[in-house]
Amino acid sequence: MIRRAAHLFLITAVCLLLTGCAGTGRLPGTAAVEWRAERMPEWEEAFQTADDRWRGADGAYSVPLSVSKTLWLFGDTWITESTAKGREQGRVIRNSVALQNIRKDEPGAIEFFWKEDEDGPKATFLLPGESGWLWPLSGERVQDSLYIFLGRFVRNDSKLGFETAGSWLFRVINPDSPPGAWETERFRVPFFEHTRNGDLIFGVGCMSHQGFLYVYGVREDWTRGVTGRSLLVARTPLESLAEADFSEWRFFSADGWVADPGRAEALFDGAATEMSVSFLPARNRFVAVYTYCGLGREIVGRLARSPEGPWGKPMTLYSCPEGAWSEQYFCYAGKAHPEFARGANELVVTYAVNSWDLEALERDLRIYWPRFVRVTGQ
């Protein structure tokens, strides 16, 4: 019963976060840039075999902590007994993390972390005194601190059974310590909005550039149809992060950088609630990588000269084949991890594969792990 309830929440979570674009699979027009993609099965195997209790997760944001180590942030995570053959009798916790050694040509050693108590596995990130749970979004290491954005979700009496309730910024004061020994400060991000037509939430992607942290957000308006999720961007000086001085945040608008988030201008539509923005040296451009409209087989990229754009047309980087394995399977959560790129014109991209069928998810250990693709521009 516990695992079925957890799976129901997992699937309805996907509906909540990705709804409105599900199943479109169509791009309105793509840039004429060719990309070559190759799977990275040895990387996938590394995550599947590193810990015999960690049996898969979605999310998969990465945050470089140093030149030799990166942190992985996962959402709903299956934890089982080490002797389990599949995910049967496993428990779903809301988030987990991993540390991986950074290597370019092969996967480095991986170690997973989550909390445990007398009742069993627990999520890594919790909000004591607050209802609901947290799903990690993006993060960035800035000097001696680590900053992680997380979305908060609570149960309600709607058809979905829960709703988005805000976002938080966690500051890890000692990120070089093991995650079990982290000391954290927690700050509520004040720019969240929840309406009947969708949410406004920041933190779906972030990166530092020229003294600022650029924080990407989405504004949803499902009255506009399947592309009704727009990407926005804010920025704040790096020196203001330690005190979480949100008065320093400025939002990109038609009139430049302004203090009013309501004036934030859409950078492009058809965005996703999980994505990455990073610098691609060979093109001297920034690249946004995401699953088109949040759910579907197409992982796309857009290029821009600056973090706020203007952004070019979407380029198809990879078409995920797992959607053809079963009509019950679906793909989402595309994003890039520049710390693993071997060259200046390369992207290492991950995405997630899930199933609407609980029994298939428990049985088929090909799915619900990070899927890796190496994408190279031509």
* Helix, strand, coil percent content, the chain, rounded in steps of 5: 15, 45, 40
CATH code, 323: 2.115.10.20
Counting the structural domains of the chain, the total is: 1
Distance CA 271, CA 275 (A): 8
Integer angstrom CA distances of residue 317 from 350, 352, 353, 373: 11, 15, 17, 10
Place of tokens 């031509």: 378
Task: Note down the domain range covering 221.
Answer: 2-377
Q: Name 32's Cβ contacts closer than 8 Å, sequence gap at least 6.
A: none
Question: In a structure prediction context, what are the per-residue pLDDT tens digits for the chain, which is 378 residues long?
Answer: 344 444 444 554 555 455 444 444 445 555 556 899 999 999 999 999 999 999 999 999 999 999 999 999 999 999 999 999 889 889 999 999 999 999 999 999 999 999 999 999 999 999 998 899 999 999 999 999 999 999 999 988 876 677 889 999 999 999 999 999 999 999 999 999 998 899 999 999 999 999 999 999 999 998 998 789 999 999 999 999 999 999 999 999 999 999 999 999 999 999 999 999 999 999 999 999 999 999 999 999 999 999 999 999 999 999 999 989 999 999 999 999 999 999 999 999 999 999 999 999 999 999 999 999 999 997
Instruction: Report the predicted TM-score, pTM, of the whole model to 2 decimal places.
Output: 0.93
Phi-psi group of 144: left, alpha or beta (phi > 0 → left; psi -120 to 50 → alpha; rest → beta): alpha
Closest residue by Cα to residue 93 from 140, 40, 139, 57: 57
- Residue 321's identity, in one-letter code, is P
> For 259-362, where are the E strands, in sequence order?
268-269, 276-280, 285-291, 298-304, 315-319, 329-336, 346-355
